[in-house]
Amino acid sequence: MPINYAAPDLTQHPPRSARARLGGFVMLPRSIDKARAKSAGTLGGYLFPNPMDNYFLEFVGIGADAFQSFVSQPKTDTEILAWVKATATRPRADWEITAWSAWLENLAPGNVRRHRLFADQLTEHAPDRDDIHTLMDRLDFDDYLTFGGKV
């Protein structure tokens, strides 16, 4: 059955990858999926907003409640992108979006405690994998495992 991203059911499939882009922004398609699912009561084990969503929302200067409210309406991704650009209290040039997206794609787990947690989870679920380094790698891996993927 094809996935309907206009009404995602995150109890049945993951949101789009954090690497997916809309208007050059990483995280935006994933945040849209999670906000839509939250409105529909189909968020499953996901959270909206979470720290990664907040990186995007803070970058553009839009509150989570305002984003959630707009995305809960029957809008296309293109309409949501136009709203983000029109509503942003921190409008961004294309080069800023590109640089920020590259930064977020390469973001490591953070402080020592978070690195340890990251390493412990990999040790438990994927001890032989040497290709999971960033938070986005981890999100993709978690999505894969959550919906039946095998290491």
DSSP codes joined into one string, 35-103: HHHHHHT--TT--SS-HHHHHHHHHHT--HHHHHHHHTSS--HHHHHHHHHHH-SS---HHHHHHHHHH
Angle among Cα 93, 96, 99 to the nearest 5 degrees reads 150
The span from the CA of 127 to the CA of 101, in Å, is 29
The model's confidence at residue 1, banded by pLDDT at 50, 70 and 90, is low
- pLDDT for 79 beyond 70: yes
Mean pLDDT across 72-94: 96
Q: Max CA-CA distance within the chain?
A: 46
> Tell me, what's the pLDDT at 150?
62
Q: What is the pTM of this model?
A: 0.91
- Predicted confidence (pLDDT) per residue in 6-58, tens digit: 889 999 999 999 999 999 999 999 999 999 999 999 999 999 999 999 999 99
- pLDDT for 74 beyond 80: yes
* Whether the Cβ atoms of residue 73 and residue 40 lie closer than 8 Å to each other: no
- pLDDT for 109 beyond 90: no
